[in-house]
Amino acid sequence: MFYDLPDYVKEGLRLARKRDLGRKNRLRLHVDGEVYPILRLWDNGFSLEAENAPHLRGFVDIYDGARPLYQCLVICSSAEDGEMIFEFKRQTAVRSEAPLDYYKDENTPVGFLH
């Protein structure tokens, strides 16, 4: 059976869900010196809380705590259920070392002994 819940119960459930998403998640969006908590992240986008979300378009950085994850080019696509949805136009993983411009064989000796 399906029951139609009163509006105050629906609102309470929505607030509890939003609170739990923010509590579990360490993902943050950094843009123009501002930091926003990311509610959800998926393959081609992410969502922020609609109340505090800026209307973004351009380059942003995504962090997991203090560790940078991605540099992204984003556009705002829609707002639904209290979340502002953003889509990636480009998503590049941040690397700790520069990429090699040559092939490095796994069996290459590290050094030579005399």
Distance (Å, whole) CA 15 – CA 34? 24
Question: Which residues 6+ apart lie within 8 Å of 18 measured at CB?
Answer: 39, 49, 82
Residue 22, pLDDT score:
54
Name the band, by pLDDT with cuts 50, 70 and 90, for residue 96: confident
CA distance linking residue 24 with residue 113, whole number of Å:
51
Query: Class assignment of domain 7-93?
Result: mainly beta
Mean pLDDT across the chain: 83
Half-sphere exposure of 20 (CA within 13 A, CB side): 6
What's the confidence (pLDDT) of residue 69?
Answer: 92
Q: What is the mean pLDDT of residues 76-90?
A: 88
Distance CA 78, CA 107 (A): 50
Relative to beta strand 57-64, strand 27-31 is antiparallel
Q: In the chain, where are the structural domains located?
A: 7-93
Residue 75 scores a pLDDT above 60: yes
Q: Is the pTM of this model over 0.85?
A: no
What's the average model confidence in pLDDT over 32-44?
89
The pLDDT value recorded for residue 46 is 92
